[in-house]
Structure 1
Amino acid sequence: MRRRFGVVVLAAMIVVGGAGCTGGGSRDADPTPSRPAVAPSSSPTPPTPSPTPPPDLSAIVVSATDITLLDDGGAVEAQLVFAGVDPAPYVSALSATLGVEPTETTSPGGAQGARFTTDYAWPGLLITTGFSEECLPECRHVTIVVEVPDLAGVPIRTVSGIGVGDTVDTARALGARPTPEIPLAAEPADPALFDSTAEPTRIVILDLDEDATTVAGLRANAWYYTFGNL
């Protein structure tokens, strides 16, 4: 009897084990669906913009008291005051910037009682200095005459931006005004005296074309005033 009972128990264990294997096979046949792989972000990195080159600020600037050469960054490279200063250093600096040498001539006589006059002439730009050797530097004076909007690609303008070729309307919008003796002038050394009838102030004279509609030239020296002494 004992041996038969053992055989029955063993048989029951085999049946239970077989059922467990069958159940496992069923789970393998129905696997859990896998999630699709997530693609990495494909948003492009915005390109780095190329740096904008700084503007070329080089210019020849005429005021009522001096003429200044600005470099490419807008800084003063050379300056020539109209009274008591030898223009030769400014002429050398300007020639180096332009890559063009002026025609230089010296002759006896000149304005304001000068014994000698030296001209430095480029096409459309004239720097004239009159002097007497016995009283240098006090009696030296300089006159600037401009007849072109630029020289060798370097613009020539007044402090407020007026240049040869601008219309009278443009010049007026930039502050140019008539004086008692001059049709149009700009850049007063003392703006408060521009309309004064008792005290003059130094100015840049704007020469006009035949129709009086366009700026044809710029002139400046130590004796150009809103009235008198012209």
Structure 2
Amino acid sequence: MGSLLRLAGLLFFCLFSPGLQAAELTAAEVRAALAHATAGQGADLSGKSLAGLDLQNLDFSKANLSGADLSGANLSNADLRGANLVSANLTDAKLVRVKLNFAWIMRANFTRADLSGAILETLVVSQGMETRSEEAAIFAGAKLAGARIMARFSLDDMRGADLSGIMASADMRNQSMGLIRADFSQANLEAAHFDNAFLAYAKFHFAKLQKADFRGADLSHADFTGAYLIGADFTGAKLAGTKFDGAVLTDAKGLRQ
């Protein structure tokens, strides 16, 4: 069943990603580059297309992947701790975003990785329809400021992550197959930063959001049902239609009583 799901996912990716750039390196060449990285400094794979490669279980810790294309790559169990995945500015000043569209990230470790300005859309986060705790990725202390996000982070460890200014609002003009939105349900987002983020219609069911920072964020129609929001700060946030059914709001700031 798992192999069929993987095949279906890859087929969907190929059919609906016409702009996919072919990988510039083979998986073997990537492994060689990682193996020959200088001690204390990760491999330099900046600006490379690694699209569609099987990169499971590889050690990308501290690697430079700025401006890289990882669309459709299988990063399951990959170690990306401290990796540089920021958007690259080329000599012609063109902004090149790191792409993780349709990437497989089950059990991947992005602890303290820098994904500022990256694109994380339609990530593959489970073998089946539901996310399981043993498949959750880790983004503890990661920086995703300004990233473009439309994916599921259910059950992920995102403690202290910087998600300030992320663009994660649902596009209500394109919802013919049901509401497609960013989903942080049951994720551990304690002390995470969402200040000035765009999170309209985002889902935070039963998420752990103690001391989370939502100052100035657009939370229109976001759903915090059952979320733990002790000490969270909503000062200046847009809260039109926002749901807090069953949420724990002890000492939360910026909410009109």
Asked if these proteins are the same fold (TM beyond 0.5), I'd say no
State the structure with more CA Rg: 1
TM-score scaled by structure 2?
0.22
Q: Which one has the bigger strand percentage?
A: 1
Q: Which one has the bigger helix percentage?
A: 1
